[in-house]
Amino acid sequence: MDPIARWHAVVEARDMAALKDLIADEAVFESPVVHTPQVGKAITVKYLAGALQVLNNDTFRYVGEWRAEQSAVLEFATEIEGIAVNGVDIVSWNEAGKITHFKVMIRPLKAINLVHRMMGELLAQAG
C-alpha cells in the first residue's frame, strides 16, 4: 500500500501503532508554529499524534491531493471551536514507503493561533 493510502488509514482509524510503523527513523516534522524542524521518529510521531487529536474531529476532511513520485500535498479542512481551519500536509517518503518529511501549514491566523494553543496544551500534558 502506498504511504498516502496508509496515512489516510491512520487518520481514519486513529491508529497510533500504524502511525509509528509509517514514520521513518530519520523523519523530520515541520510544525506551523514551531520555528525549528523537529528531527527523529519519536518527536515526529508525538507531533502527528497530537495533531490527529486536535484536528481530526467529526468535521475533518481532506479536500484535495496532489502527488509526485515520492511526495504529496494533501489539503484539509476542519472546524474547531467554531473556527474554520484550512491547511495542507506536505509529505515525502523514502523508497521503503516510510514518511521522511511531514510539513503542516495552516490558515487563517485565527485558526493557527487556536491550533497553537491547543497543541501546546496537549503536548505539555504529554510531557
C-alpha cell at 33: 508554529
Q: What is the pTM of this model?
A: 0.93
Beta strand spans in the chain (E): 23-30, 38-39, 61-67, 71-80, 83-93, 99-107
Evaluate if residue 52 carries a pLDDT over 70: yes
What is the chain's percent helix, strand, coil content, to nearest 5?
Answer: 40, 35, 25
pLDDT mean across residues, the chain: 94
| pLDDT at residue 126 in the model | 67
Split into its structural domains, the chain has a count of 1
| pLDDT at residue 80 in the model | 96
The domain that holds 92 is classified in CATH as 3.10.450.50
Summarize the confidence of residues 2-29 as an average pLDDT: 96
Per-residue pLDDT tens digits for 63-103: 999 999 999 999 999 999 999 999 999 999 999 999 999 99
Q: By residue range, what is the domain housing residue 16?
A: 3-126
